[in-house]
Chain A
């Protein structure tokens, strides 16, 4: 019996370690790989806004008190220096560290999907809500981990409550089509 118990403990220990590893498996940005070009930096700007969520009245709920900014501006337009070849996702990671803005993503580094920024998550503002990003006013159709930034790019993260139909410069036809298909 004692032997079996010991084995059980070993197995549970190994299993829990595996689970822990799986839990932490969201890859950290590859620092070694980008260090070759790390000497060269570039200037980009970033802005994070959640006007649509404010307009929807989320701040009236008690639980959002002190979490959402009343003017809808989570981060004013800010100049940041990032390594050359950084993606939009790398920039957001940088913002998370430098400005202390909470952020959660799923997927790997290249396929990152931003679930929430500043504790405001997808679907907090209704079924069709979530975060979208634009570079120089244009909304890209790839994951933010795949979009490589150029010098002087202006990145804007916007919260949408309507698949992007309530934001400027988005593909409204696509949003409508998607909504009709999945309603």
Chain B
């Protein structure tokens, strides 16, 4: 089997959609921790140590949500301490932590999605069914990275034109604000122009026509059937177990998880396999690649 991203776009897209739906259904700390871990494992296999830079700002955000929720919400049976004249409860903290983790999981999995589902794949899938919305979505996804790239270019050229400033105090602040405003104006103008140009050029190339072929030709191969079969079975099992009340956790007024213990463990194992698939495929591929002795 080759690397994960070489699977058919339809397989990849439906895999990610199913996983995201499961995330929204399972508001449970354990499931969310597993999800984060699997996403990091996958990202690690793709981009190495850089993957862990996600943790650097994800952890503070999770902790922040976990701390803020009990300050705003005082429900729960287990009291920890009194702040002002209301009690801080363990339940509210748990709820906040789970929410933070699920947010982190969704962001991390979107990062995985971006690594795997490139824009051409997305356009291949939806370019014919819904041309304008597909184009709009891909352009929106590209917008922020594109903006940062342009921002850097504008900044650099401004620096080169003006040289380093030696003003201090109020004057420095004033000139800096001026520069910032100018940058924003240029940036907006440039990106708007770019969007129009992009749309025109797509139209000129016959985008959205029925008979138009795509840049890539993806074929539905045996490995795709194999993959979607396994994923489909696991996802259906997960949904059934979830319907039976597994992996649900009620926080207020007291923490209680639903479903029997065995069913919950079964769910977690299935969940782990489902989420681990991309990372494992990638890992295996990496190992196979490294095992070829390229020096010899």
Contacts and interface: CB of A to CB of B under 8 A. Distances in A.
- The yes or no verdict on A and B being binding partners is yes
Interface of A: 16, 19-20, 23-24, 26-29, 62-64, 66-67, 93, 96, 102-105, 116, 119-121
Nearest to A121: B75
B83 interface: yes
5 closest A-B pairs by beta carbon, nearest first, are: A23-B71, A119-B253, A104-B74, A67-B253, A28-B85
Interface string B25-48: 000000000000000000000000
B87 interface: yes
A103 B82 CA distance: 12
A119 B83 contact: no
Contacts of B86: 26, 103-105
B184 interface: no
A115 B64 CA distance: 25
11 contacts: A20-B68, A24-B71, A24-B84, A26-B85, A29-B85, A63-B254, A64-B253, A66-B254, A104-B74, A105-B86, A119-B75
B250 A119 contact: no
B72 interface: yes
B141 interface: no
Contacts of B256: 62-63
Given A63-B256, A64-B253, A102-B87, A20 B71 contact: yes
Nearest to B253: A119
B236 to A, nearest CB: 27
Nearest to B79: A102
Contacts of A27: 84
A120 B68 CA distance: 22
A64 B76 CA distance: 11
A136 to B, nearest CB: 26
B232 to A, nearest CB: 33
A26 B254 contact: no
B136 interface: no
A123 B189 CA distance: 50
Interface string B236-264: 00000000000000101110100000000
Interface in B58-103: 64, 68, 71-77, 79, 83-87, 89
Nearest to A116: B75
A28 B86 CA distance: 9
A24 B254 contact: no
Nearest to B91: A119
B239 to A, nearest CB: 23
A29 B85 CA distance: 8
Interface in B83-127: 83-87, 89
A26 B71 CA distance: 10
Contacts of B85: 26, 28-29, 93, 96
A66 B85 CA distance: 24
Contacts of A116: 75
Given A23-B68, A119-B75, A67 B84 contact: no
Contacts of B254: 63, 66-67, 119
A182 B112 CA distance: 46
A9 B144 CA distance: 22
A124 to B, nearest CB: 9
A157 to B, nearest CB: 17
Nearest to A68: B253
A121 to B, nearest CB: 7
Given A23-B72, A63-B254, A67-B254, 9 more contacts: A19-B68, A24-B71, A27-B84, A63-B250, A63-B253, A64-B253, A116-B75, A119-B252, A119-B253
B104 to A, nearest CB: 17
Nearest to B250: A63
A148 B195 CA distance: 64
Nearest to A25: B84
A73 B42 CA distance: 54
Contacts of A20: 68, 71
A4 to B, nearest CB: 12
B84 A102 contact: no
A119 B64 contact: no
Contacts of B77: 66-67, 102, 119
A28 B85 CA distance: 6
A24 B89 CA distance: 14
